[in-house]
Homo-oligomer: A and B are copies of this chain.
Amino acid sequence: MGNTIGGVGVLDKAVDVLDALELRSLSLSELVVVTGLPRATAHRLATALERHGLVRRDADGRFMLGTRLLSLGQAAADAWPLATAAASALAILRDETAESVQLFVRDGEDRVCIAALQSLHGLRTIVPLGARLPLSAGSAARVLTSADQTAGGWIESVGEREAGVASVSAPVRDASGRVVAAVSVSGPIERTSRQPGKRYGSFVVHAAREIESEAGLRGADS
């Protein structure tokens, strides 16, 4: 025994601590409440994580995520060559559409946002980097789950994953035609209209092509 998903081993508890600190900085006592761990245990784990730089403490002694996670996060992003290859194409797409744009990949039974740029409008960012979203809703989800081509090369969804939000996505394929990622544009229905595909479809598809060639997925040798 020791693989209950909830957190039995040291490692599980340590991750619980990191999870707790992901939202906001926490004093030891708060950490105890949030994680449900005994004080001594929470303290031991938090200080152990601190030794590794995964956790740091501010001047008041409150625990927060450490700097080590910056470089690890950076390295994790680099592990997806797609994310870096897509950077410029996403920037262009964001400028063309003036809406938030994202790049999603499958990861297990979810999809994960591995690159994102926010809309230039005042409205808050819709999908943060690293977010895990379901494979059951949203245009990007359907792009990642259906292997077939679609009319125009894009898929749209309106208010599907989240009320008031519409999105258009296009598949990024490798040399053998497999879908490896989905580029998306998403924004409030008021701005995107109820047929976002008509407005943004061609831009999204073009961005997908751009990412493919930038990442060397199509025909390049280097």
Interface residues of A (CB under 8 A from B): 3, 5, 9-12, 14-15, 18, 21-23, 25, 45, 48-49, 51-54, 56, 64-77, 79, 107-108, 112-114, 128-132
Contact = CB atoms under 8 A, between A and B. Distances in A.
Contact of A131 (B11, B12, B71, B130): B71
Given A5-B51, A10-B9, A54-B15, A22 B75 contact: yes
A72 B107 contact: no
Contact of A10 (B10, B72, B131): B10
- State the number of copies, please: 2
A72 B49 CA distance: 14
Contacts of A45: 11
A130 B71 contact: yes
Question: Shortest 6 CB-CB distances between A and B: which pairs?
Answer: A73-B73, A70-B130, A71-B130, A65-B76, A69-B76, A67-B112
B75 A65 contact: yes
A35 to B, nearest CB: 14
A72 B11 contact: no
Contacts of A75: 21-23, 65, 69
A48 B76 CA distance: 17
Contacts of A112: 67, 70
B12 A130 contact: no
Given A69-B69, A71-B128, A79 B64 contact: yes
Contacts of A48: 3, 9, 11-12
